[in-house]
Amino acid sequence: MMKIFNKLNVLFFTAILAGLFLIFYDTISFNDNISLSNKKAVALVNETVITEDQFLRYATNLGADLDLSNDFEILDLLLERMIEEELLVQRGIELNLHKKDIGVRKEMITQVIDFIIQVEDNQITEADVRDYFKKNINKYAPTEKIKFDFIFLKSNNPNSVLLGTESDLKTLETKISNINLELDTKTFSEVKQKYNENNLFDIPQKLINLKDCEQLLGKGICNQITMMEINSVSEPIFGTNGFYIFKLYDIQKLEVNDDYFEEIKERIIFDYNNQLDDQKLKDYLIYLKENSSITRYDFQ
């Protein structure tokens, strides 16, 4: 009788352990097959099931806030990306690229993409680079270069609804009048040393790209500077928490010629290589899809 009882205990605990193992296995495994009868599937990729739960976790990790009853176009795009990632993981397993835990999908996908890109080096010629440059000329069109300086005056109403208005400007009238008077007898840099109230950044005293100006001051202000006459001084222009008085020293428009091409050639080659690498990955994913068994199921 005791032997029978012991056998029953062994079977009982064995069943519990087996059940815990299956739960744990289902939780950590993303690649292994899952019975379609147990969980609703959204896709089947070479006999690997992608369940609705896995898909929703994937979408959540990407920051997507989805309505399964309405956002079908977004759902399809996300599912397509998930299928592509699964294909890359499967390919990585076939190529024995998983040097780390197979469950680390991001690491696996990165290894496979690196493998795809490095299988064949990009063979590019001077003619290829120039052709790419011409096709993307708007991307590389040179900007104007300008040399200017400014005097910044802090607003007396930084926390007021008057900030940036004519009323705000009037509170600085005396200081602005003194600046204009001194500019008649002193250089702009001398007057700046006395009145400038900006301690955050300074402008290099050389020609700089208009884009660099825009990063510092904003596109609207820089456009106003480019419309000034050389060696002229502007009226006060409102910026963040104050007013700028600008002096334009020089302006230069760059031409798209061979010298300019050579100046940015390394950047063009870098961008061109990236485009080729992106196309390699797209082509390889098409190849994987064409040679795989993929079934998609309705979200409804």
The domain 144-252: what is its CATH number? 3.10.50.40
Of 38, 41, 61, the residue nearest 51 (C-alpha)? 41
35 pLDDT band (50/70/90 cuts)? Answer: very low
Please state, in angstroms and rounded to a whole number, the distance separating the CA atoms of residues 114 and 38: 36
Please state, in angstroms and rounded to a whole number, the distance separating the CA atoms of residues 123 and 280: 13
Q: For the ranges 64-78, 189-203, 210-224, 249-263, which has the lowest average pLDDT?
A: 64-78
End-to-end CA distance of the chain: 55
At CB < 8 A and 24+ separation, what contacts does 66-73 make? 68/299, 68/300, 69/300, 72/299
Cβ-count burial of 228 within 10 angstroms (0-12 exposed, 13-18 middle, 19+ buried)? middle
DSSP letter, residue 232? -
Which of 181 and 32 is assigned the larger pLDDT?
A: 181
146 contacts: CB under 8 Å, gap ≥ 6: 207, 208, 210, 213, 222, 225, 226, 248, 250, 251, 252
Of 57, 56, 50, the residue nearest 85 (C-alpha)? 50
pLDDT at 34: 37
pLDDT at 11: 41
- At 51-66, the pLDDT tens digits run 888 878 877 776 656 5
Give the Cβ contact number of residue 91 at 10 Å: 20
pLDDT at 25: 36
**How do the domains of the chain map onto residue ranges?**
32-119+284-296, 144-252
Judge whether 282 and 264 are in contact, CB under 8 Å. Answer: no
pLDDT cut 90: percent of the chain above it? 27
pLDDT at 224: 92
* Residue written as token pair 């007057």: 191
Please state, in angstroms and rounded to a whole number, the distance separating the CA atoms of residues 141 and 211: 12
67 φ, ψ (degrees, to nearest 5): -115, 110
Fold of the 32-119+284-296 domain = Triger factor/SurA peptide-binding fold (1.10.4030)
Average pLDDT, the chain: 78
- At 117-146, the pLDDT tens digits run 776 677 788 999 999 998 888 788 776 889
Of 284, 237, 299, the residue nearest 118 (C-alpha)? 284
In sequence order, what DSSP letters do the residues of 31-42 get, joined into one string? SS---TTTS-EE
Please state, in angstroms and rounded to a whole number, the distance separating the CA atoms of residues 79 and 50: 9
Query: Tell me, what amino acid is at 120?
Result: E
Kindly state the greatest CA–CA separation across the chain. Answer: 116
Cα separation values, 30 from 17, 21, 183, 214, 285, Å: 21, 15, 72, 47, 20
pLDDT at 139: 80
